[in-house]
Amino acid sequence: MREFSGNVVSNGAVFGKIAVFGGDEYVPEEKEVEDTDKELARLNAALDEAKSELEGLYEEAIDKVGEENALIFDIHKMMLEDLDYTENIQNLINEDRLCAEYAVFETGKVFSKTFADMDDDYMKARSVDVLDISNRVIRKLTGKAEATLEGDEAVIILAEDLTPGETINMDKSKVLAFVTRKGSSSSHTAILARSLGIPALVKVDFGSVALTELEGREAAVDAVNGKLYIEPDFKAKEAIDKLIKELNLENVLLSELKGKENVTRDGRKIEIFANIGSENDVDRVIENDAGGIGLFRSEFLYLGRSEAPSEEEQFASYKEVVERLDGKKVIIRTLDIGADKKASYLGLSEEDNPALGYRAIRICLNKKDLFKTQLRAIFRASALGNVGIMFPMITSVEEVKRIKIIVDEVKEELIAQGVTIGNPELGIMIETPAAALISDELAKEVDFFSVGTNDLTQYTLAIDRQNENLAEFYNPHHKAILMLIKMACDNAHKNGIWVGICGELAGDTALTRTFVDMGIDELSVSPTKVLSLRKAVRNI
C-alpha cells in the first residue's frame, strides 16, 4: 500500500480504480508566417469560437451547479476579451511573425506566470484560468480535441490539474473523486467539485511518482482527512469503509429532518433560510427545505454582460423566485458590485484596495438611475409574495436616510403609474465595524439587520480573507467579531427589529449555540447546509 497526503477541498470518501486524466502539456510548434493578416483572421475566428464554446459551458453549468458557480465561464469569456491579453498575441503575430497558436501559447505562459508570482493566493489560482483559456483557443486553431473521460466505469480521476471546462464536461456518474497534484482551495475546479458534491483532494504530494504509474490501480480516497491510498491494505479499507458508512448515515439522518421545525430542545425557534445567486438556485432551496431566502445576491444579474439588466429582466427573475417560494420570505440584496465583482459598462476604474473602495451602496447612491431601476423591479415583485430589501455596505445613518428618500420616490412613481406594489421590509447589512458600533441608531431606521460575517471579519481583523498566507491569523471566531455581532443583535431587539446572519459563520455549527444564546433570529446559509444547521439547532 502507498499513502499520499493532500488538501481536502470537497468532503467525501470512496473506493475505486484510478484513471489518469490528461497528460503532457501540448506545445505548438514555433513557426514563422508570411501572411500576418491571414494569421490574425485565424486568431479572431478561434477567439470567436472559444467565446461561443464558453457561452455553451455557462448554460450547461447553470443547470449543474447554479448561476453563481457558472459565472466561472463568463469570467473566462471576459478574460478572452481582455485587451492586454489579445493585443499581446496580435503583437507577436505582427512583429515577430509567429503563427497564431504559438503566439497564444507564449502569451498564456507570460500572463499565467504573472498571476502565479502574485502574493495573493486567490490571484495565484487565476494562473490556471489563463492557461485554460489559452489552451481553448489553441484547440480551436489546431483542431485538437479536448481531453475526455473514456470508458463506462466510474473512476477516481487523477490529474496534474483540472480546468473548470474539463470538470463541468465530465459525466458526474462516471466520477467518484478528483485528485490532483496541483490546484488550491481557491481554484474554480475546487469550487465546482464542492457544488457537484464530488470528493476532491488537491496539492497531493506524490513526490517523484509519475501519475501514469498509478493508472488502473485500486485506490481509496479519504477526502475528510486528506489521504489517498493506492492498493489499500485491510486496515485502510476498514477505516474508509467505516467513514463511508458514517457519511451515508449522516445524509440519511439529515434527510429525515425535512419538514421538521428549527426548534431547540427548550423551545427556541430559529429561522433557517438559504443564500442564492439566481432563480436557477431555487430548486436547491426547496429540495433542502429552507424556510425562505435570506440572501438573494442580485449582482449576478449584472455580471458577464455588456449593459445593465433592464427593469423587465430583473422583474422576471425576482418574480420567478418570489412565486416559487410561495409565501416564504425572499430577501433581495441590492446591487453589491465592485471589489472582486466588476461590470465593464459601469466604467469603474482600477483601485489599489477595491475591498475598501467604490462598491455596493456607494455605487447605487451615485448612480441613482441604476438604483431606481432595480428598486422598481423589486417593488413590483413584492406585490406577488413576501419580500424584503437589504442594502449592503452601510456605514452611516445618513446613507440609510438617502436610501429611504430614493425608495419613497420609487414607490410614489409606481403608484402614480397605477402599478401594484407590496410593502417589503427594508433592512441593512451589518458588515462593517462602523455599522455594528452605531447599530442602535441604525436600528431606528430599518425593519431588520442581516450580519455579513465575511466582510465584517476581514474589516475587523484587517485581513484579506482570500489570502491563504494569512490563514493562521484569520480567525472568524475572534472575540471582537462576536462582540460586534452581539452588539448589533442587542440593539436590534432593543429597537423592536429582527436580526439574522447571512455570512459563512451562519453555517458554522461550532457557533450555532453562541448565536442562539445571543438571540439571533435567523441564519441564512448555502442550501446544502440547511439540514445540518437544523440538526445543530434541534440538539441545543
Active site residues: 188, 502
Task: Kindly tell me the burial class for residue 119, based on how many C-beta atoms sit within 10 Å of its own C-beta (0-12, 13-18, 19 or more).
Answer: exposed
Task: Kindly tell me the burial class for residue 49, based on how many C-beta atoms sit within 10 Å of its own C-beta (0-12, 13-18, 19 or more).
Answer: middle
Strands 271-276 and 522-525: parallel
| Three cell numbers, residue 536 | 445543530
Question: How distant is the alpha carbon of residue 208 from its chain centre?
Answer: 34
| Three cell numbers, residue 5 | 497526503
Q: Is 14 helix (H, G, I), strand (E, B) or coil?
A: strand
CB 484 within 8 A of CB 232: no
In the Cβ-directed half-sphere of 538, how many Cα atoms lie within 13 Å? Answer: 16
Give CA–CA dist 442/397, Å, rounded: 6
Question: Which residue type, as a one-letter code, is found at position 410?
Answer: V
Q: Which residue has the cell 475591498?
A: 355
DSSP codes, 122-139: HHHHHHHHHHHHHHHHHH
Give CA–CA dist 386/423, Å, rounded: 9
The size of the chain, in residues, is: 540
Contacts 24+ apart (CB under 8 A), 434-441: 434/395, 434/396, 435/394, 435/395, 435/488, 436/484, 436/485, 436/487, 436/488, 437/484, 437/487, 438/396, 438/397, 439/487, 439/488, 439/491, 439/492, 440/491, 440/494, 440/495, 441/397
Question: Which of 211, 215, 162 is closest to 189 using CA atoms?
Answer: 162
Give CA–CA dist 189/126, Å, rounded: 11
Q: According to the 3-state scheme, what is the secondary structure of 334-394?
A: CCCCECCECCHHHCCCCCCCHHHCCCCHHHHHHCHHHHHHHHHHHHHHHCCCCEEEEECCC
Strands 7-10 and 12-20: unpaired
Question: Which of 535, 452, 431, 447 is closest to 498 using CA atoms?
Answer: 447
